[in-house]
Structure formats: C-alpha cells, structure tokens
Amino acid sequence: MGGIKLSERNIEMKLLLDIYNTGKITQREYAEAKMAQGYSVSGFCDLGFGNMLLENPDWETEDDNQYSAYTDGYLRSNMKSGKYSLTEVLKIISLRDNITAEESEEYFIDEFI
C-alpha cells in the first residue's frame, strides 16, 4: 500500500503546470510563479524557458552591450522557431561576446552542435 505521496506544494505546482499547458495563464505568469520558487537563473533556464530573454542585474558588467542578455538557450530556441537565422545568431554571438566572425562560428560549433 505504499506509493508516492505528493506534498501539497508539489500538487500545487502540478496544477499550475496543468493550467499553463491548457493556456489559462501566459508563459510570463507561469515563469513568474516558477521564479517565486527561488530558482537560480541557470536552473530557471533548464525549466524550458529558453525562448525568453532573461535579464539578471547580477550579470551586468562594464562590458555589457545590447546583446548581453541573449543567452545561448535563447538564441537556440529562437533559431529553432525560425525567429533568427544562422547568420543572425552568429552576428549576435560576435557582438555579444566581442569576438570575430570566425571565433563566433567556432563558438557556435562548440556550443550549439
């Protein structure tokens, strides 16, 4: 008569996921609920929010530019959906990381393929 017992919190999160999957709340609302659980930025990205542009004030440095928040997960997700072409992604990586076009291609091969 064993079995897995779900905590109240797990049941609530499962219900929230079900509500999100049926379209009754937006991705942003679901993401905010998950953020309230205290996920790190990396852990949050692992939840499948790669298509969201994340901004973390802790990441800000003097070298930041308009593409600093364009994580690899964000670029990968938007490339898969057709929002960005390979050429655009390579250009963003180059600008984001302040590297040459050739280095951007090498980075893409190492990290995306």
Supply the pLDDT for residue 64: 76
Cα–Cα dist 72/78, whole Å = 10
Q: Tell me the H-state helices in the chain.
A: 8-21, 27-35, 41-46, 72-80, 86-97, 101-112
Supply the pLDDT for residue 3: 57
The dihedral region occupied by 72, where left means phi > 0, alpha psi between -120 and 50, and beta the remainder, is alpha
Supply the pLDDT for residue 91: 97
Cα–Cα dist 47/10, whole Å = 15
Give Dmax over CA atoms of the chain in angstroms.
62
Residues 6+ apart with CB under 8 A from 44: 31, 34, 35, 54
Supply the pLDDT for residue 52: 81
Q: What is the pLDDT along the chain (113 residues), one digit of tens a residue?
A: 455 666 777 788 788 889 989 999 998 898 888 888 887 766 777 777 777 887 767 667 777 788 888 888 889 989 999 999 999 999 999 999 999 999 999 999 999 98
Three-class secondary structure of residue 52 per DSSP: coil
Helix or strand (DSSP H, E) at 88: helix 86-97
- Candidates 19, 13, 77; CA nearest to 45 is 77
- Yes or no: say if 78 and 51 are a contact pair by the CB < 8 Å rule: yes
Supply the pLDDT for residue 42: 67
